Amino acid sequence: MIHDILPHKLFNEFKICDPKPTDYLIRYAGGKTLLKTNTTTEKNEVATGTKVATYNIPRVGELLELEGKSLGNFEGHYLFSIDDTAFFLDDSSAAKTSGATAHAGYEYMGNRTFRSMDPVERLGGATAAHIAHWESQNKFCGVCGNVTIRGDKERSIVCPKCGNVVYPRISPVVIVAVRNGDKLLMAHNIDNPNPRLFLISGFVEVGESLEQAVHREVQEEAGVKVKNVRYFGSQPWPFSDSLIAGFTAELDGDDTIHMQEAELSEATWVRREDIPEYETDVSISCCLIENFRRGFTLE
């Protein structure tokens, strides 16, 4: 999954420090992150010469050099490190303009782009964009409307006028693999650009437990009931500012699906032998599907 980056290690303790030229720099503007564009030719497309764009997170030194600046002119703050390489968030004027213009060879891209990067840049970039998105939404105090500042002792946004403190938003989500004998309940969310089938999932509501959310989401989206709900694992999901808790469950009663069309474009029972292989290096959804497809259990 996205956080499984061994032998690398994430160090996300709060601290204040200066950057090295080789550290990563996140320039976040208008909900997108500035990335360096690389063009490669896919092996199976060599004959046609088809070019495929890949992306990397720029380094502090390369952007400063590109803009004629030195480390002494750096405007930004530390986020976290993976091994000995830090991720910094750009505070310069170039990062504060919605629809900012990218340098030649660079492009502002949405968060889904991080999913195609190597494990370190995938986790680091998506997590940094998660923090950047949170900061961008809290420039003014939600209590008194005053301009806020970053906390200097912990990762927080502080109002210097009324003292209101805001911490990073991490929304709890549940996802569940519902089994009906040798069939798995699979679905496609209308907002997911990936056409493949995945699992029932949803945000936890105020006042309910994770397990209660599992029962409610399956009932709402597929119109069936579940039993024997068991915890599978969890993962950070910075693409939606979330922490996802994964569960397995069994069908309880009638298997007739009543799909919630406002949320899903498809919901169906899929036999184990008809499920294609899913890559498990990014999402817990794929891990749950593979767990069922391969016949594994948690008992």
Tens of pLDDT, residue by residue over 203-245, are 999 999 999 999 999 999 999 999 999 999 999 999 999 999 9
The pLDDT of residue 30 is above 90: no
The pLDDT of residue 196 is above 60: yes
Q: Is residue 3 part of a domain?
A: no
The pLDDT of residue 43 is above 50: no
Co-location of 129 and 218 in the same domain: no
How do beta strands 24-26 and 85-90 pair? Answer: parallel
Last-in-domain residue among 116, 137, 158 = 137
pLDDT, tens digit, 9 for 90 and up, residues 83-117 = 999 999 999 877 665 556 788 899 999 998 999 99
Nearest to 128 by CA among 234, 9, 239: 239
The pLDDT of residue 132 is above 50: yes
Q: Mean of the pLDDT values across residues 179-191?
A: 95
pLDDT at 103: 86
Quick check: 83 and 5 in contact, CB under 8 A? Answer: no
CATH value at residue 194: 3.90.79.10
Q: Is residue 152 part of a domain?
A: no
Q: Is residue 4 part of a domain?
A: no
Last-in-domain residue among 137, 158, 180 = 137
Q: Read off the tokens for 15.
A: 């601290």
Q: Is residue 41 part of a domain?
A: yes
Q: Mean of the pLDDT values across residues 268-285?
A: 95
pLDDT at 100: 67
Q: Mean of the pLDDT values across residues 68-88?
A: 95
Co-location of 20 and 133 in the same domain: yes
pLDDT at 40: 60
Give the C-alpha separation, 77 to 192, whole Å.
Answer: 33
CATH value at residue 126: 3.90.79
Preceding amide of 19 cis, omega within 30: no
pLDDT at 296: 78
Co-location of 111 and 191 in the same domain: no
Co-location of 108 and 16 in the same domain: yes
pLDDT band of residue 33 (cuts 50, 70, 90) is: very high
Last-in-domain residue among 90, 121, 137 = 137
End-to-end CA, the chain: 21
Q: Quote the number of domains for the chain.
A: 2
Q: Mean of the pLDDT values across residues 178-201?
A: 95
90 three-class SS? strand
The pLDDT of residue 175 is above 80: yes
Domain that holds residue 47: 10-137
Q: Mean of the pLDDT values across residues 7-34?
A: 95
The pLDDT of residue 297 is above 70: no
pLDDT top residue among 31 and 199: 199
Whole-number average pLDDT of the chain: 92
